[in-house]
Amino acid sequence: MDETDKTHAARSLPFLTLDNRDFWTGGANNRLLIYRCNSCAYYVHPPTTFCPRCESRDVGAQPVSGFGTIFSFTMNYKKWFPGLDVPYIIAFVVLEEQDDIRLVSNIVDCNPDDVRIGQRVKVRFEQASDIWVPLFAPVGDLS
Amino acid sequence: MKYPEKNVAITGIGQSRISRDAGFSPLSLTLDAVLEAIADAGLERSDIDGMSCWPGDYQDASGMAPVGIPALQDALRLKLGWYSNCRETAGQFGAIFNAIAAISANLCRHVLIFRTMYQATARKTSFANASFQPGGRAFWPYDWFAPYHAYAAASQQALYFSRYVHESGIKPEQVAQIALISRQNASLNPAAIYRTPITLDDYFDAPIISSPLKLFDCDVPIDGSTAIILSRVDCARDTRNPLTRIEAIGSSMQYRNSWTQLDDPATQALPGVAEMMWGRTDLSPADVDVAELYDGFSFHTINSLEALGFCPKFEAGAFIDGGSRIALDGELPINTNGGALSAGRMHAYGQVHEACVQLWGRGERRQVAGDPRVAALSTAGGPLAGCFLLVRDD
């Protein structure tokens, strides 16, 4: 794997499974896919085939808007290994569709010093091997 | 008895030398701690009929858990009625809670519990802090963090801590008091790793690891081992130390057990276990004489102070402001041996060892005045949390 980003380090990647494949590959079609109950419309994340709200087993991937809000973030300064370019932002992003879905991500395409909790962000994707990594960038007047 | 933990006591403690470069094997360090604990209880090797540990042998080079039950049982040739490691449990204290259950089920009487870490030496040869390797593939639960250069526990904890700072409004100079008090206590503990007191300027001059976590907010990887003996109370009366019972435990899991979806990153999983613990005792936070609160990161201690009821939610900043309340001579002395921040990362078992030191009056220059009888202990980190109260009966 030789894909690198601004940190000049190859991203570690998840193993693809039958449960997580839609999430990690939806970016190939520029779509963020989140599992959703087809009975009660509740989003279920991490993806699994059971709705904890209505107990339906009819749960599957559906595209969401890709908009979200920064719930929390950290500016990483520690050079965990030689060659890692710092600082960079790691964040929890809450999806606009449902406030109990929290994605880990990097906040990109902005000045890291301008990142704030509560900021509205939108997804974009970066391909790394067989994965399309969802990243988020600020939208609106703060971008 | 309604709550079985009240029928279980800690009867002995032992600890190897804690260092940044042991020069002895992990198993050798473990034997140092274990043999000391058995002797400290006034027991013989043949009295030990149970073994418990968290998390069990990791079977890797990280130094996180280099010794498990099989290697130690065989080295000591112990004959056991019950033994078990555990990893998916209420944090590091799960080993204690399991042992309480086993003792209560009459499977054993004297359980040896140990925690050994070898991360100081391991870090010299590998990227041992890493939850996963750059460019590699990650398994659950790290798969959701893996692509985002979130390499260490500090990366996750900084995300939780950042939310806490946002919601509580705690000031950095208040957060700093946890590290400053720990170092002050460590200066009185000859076994601590770092013993030179630090100032507020030192705290702010140190590198930021991942905001808002600064260097002195993070505990110190070490080589070392700690052991305790857990005994059924009627068998504990013959042992050497004052009868010191487990008064109440908090072992519940009331939230989503997930490092990303945990219900409330600002408080982590502590409120649920604290509620369970206080529901099993007539004691209240005001009865606690000394608090040994997990400090893998200073933020964990701050969470514990609030969740265990020593101050209201999001008011720990005011409570620890200036440090006097949590100092050795304060109303609630915390992490009296220097904690993991300064005495070294013994993963909550340093806290258990130190609670007994204090309740048994062995603290020497760091002994809390007033003959402490009640200690509160916690462990924390993401969805993992556990707590218990330890009470000297005599």
Those of residues 91-150 in B touching chain A at CB distance below 8 A are 127, 129-130, 132-139, 143-150
All residues of chain A having their beta carbon less than 8 Å from the beta carbon of residue B143 are 14-15, 20
The closest CB to that of A72, out of B127, B130, B162, belongs to B162
Contacts of A131 in chain B (CB under 8 A): 147
Q: Give the pLDDT score at A141.
A: 59
Question: Are the CB atoms for B191 and B343 separated by under 8 Å?
Answer: yes
Cross-chain Cβ contact A74/B213 below 8 Å: yes
Reduced to 3 states, what is the DSSP secondary structure of residue B16?
coil
Nearest to B175 by CA among B300, B312, B49: B300
Tokens matching residue B138:
């990650």
CA distance A132 to chain B (A): 10
Q: What is the ipTM of this complex?
A: 0.95
What pLDDT band is residue A3 in, cutting at 50, 70 and 90?
very low
Torsion, Cα of B101, B104, B108, B110 (10° steps): 90
Q: What are phi and psi of B331, to 5 degrees?
A: -70, -25
Q: Which of B268, B40, B291, B50 is nearest to B167 (CA)?
A: B268
B29: Cβ contacts below 8 Å, ≥ 6 apart: B16, B17, B22, B116, B118, B223, B224, B225
Chain A residues touching B149 at Cβ < 8 A? 7, 9, 11, 76, 80, 84, 88, 90, 106
Domains present along chain B, CATH in parentheses: 4-124+220-392 (3.40.47.10)
For B238-267, what is each residue's pLDDT tens digit? 899 999 999 999 999 999 999 999 999 999
Q: Is residue A4 scored above 50 in pLDDT?
A: no
pLDDT in tens, B270-325: 999 999 999 999 999 999 999 999 999 999 999 999 999 999 999 999 999 999 99
- Alpha carbon B294 to its chain centroid, in Å, reads 5
Partners of residue B148 in chain A, C-beta under 8 Å: 11, 90, 104-106, 133
Average pLDDT over every residue of A101-129: 97
Tokens standing for B261?
């979806």
For chain A, domains (ranges, CATH) are 21-142 (2.40.50.840)
Q: Which residue of A has its CA nearest to B208?
A: A77
Mean pLDDT of A28-48: 98
A73-106: pLDDT as tens digits:
999 999 988 888 999 999 999 999 999 999 999 9
| CA–CA distances in Å: residue B285 to residues B9, B10, B311 | 21, 21, 9
Q: pLDDT digits over B33-72, tens only?
A: 999 999 999 999 999 999 999 999 998 888 999 999 999 9
Given CB atoms, is A46 within the 8 Å cutoff of chain B? yes
Question: Three-state SS for B250?
Answer: strand
User: Is the model's pLDDT at A1 over the cut of 70?
Assistant: no
Q: Residue B136's pLDDT is what? A: 81
Which 3-state string (H, E, C) describes chain A? CCCCCCCCCCCCEECCCCCCHHHHHHHHHCCEEEEEECCCCCECCCCCCCCCCCCCCCEEEEEECCEEEEEEEEEECCCCCCCCCCCEEEEEEEECCCCCCEEEEEECCCCHHHCCCCCEEEEEEEEECCEEEEEEEECHHHC
Q: Is B303 helix (H, G, I), strand (E, B) or coil?
A: helix
Hey, is B281 helix, strand or coil?
Answer: coil
Statement: residue B113 has pLDDT above 80: yes
What pLDDT score was predicted for residue B237? 84
Q: Quickly state the pLDDT bin for B121 (edges 50, 70, 90).
A: very high
Tell me which residue has tokens 């065989």: B74
Q: Please tell me the predicted confidence (pLDDT) of residue B1.
A: 61
pLDDT for position B126: 64
A52 shares contact with chain B (CB less than 8 Å): no
Interacting residues of B47 by C-beta distance below 8 A, sequence separation 6+: B38, B109, B110
Which whole number is the average pLDDT over A134-138? 98
Q: What is the pLDDT of residue A80?
A: 87
Is the pLDDT at A113 greater than 50? The verdict is: yes
Look at residue A2 in the predicted model and tell me its pLDDT. 37
Which segment of A3-17, B89-103, B152-166, B363-377 scores lowest on mean pLDDT?
A3-17
Mean pLDDT of B358-378: 98
Residue B138: its chain A contacts at CB < 8 A? 12-15
CB contact under 8 A, A77 and B208: yes
Q: Which residues of B touch A12 (CB under 8 A)?
A: 132-138, 146-147
Of A102, A106, A117, the CB nearest to B260: A102
Listed by number, the residues of chain B in 213-232 with a beta carbon closer than 8 Å to a beta carbon of chain A are 213
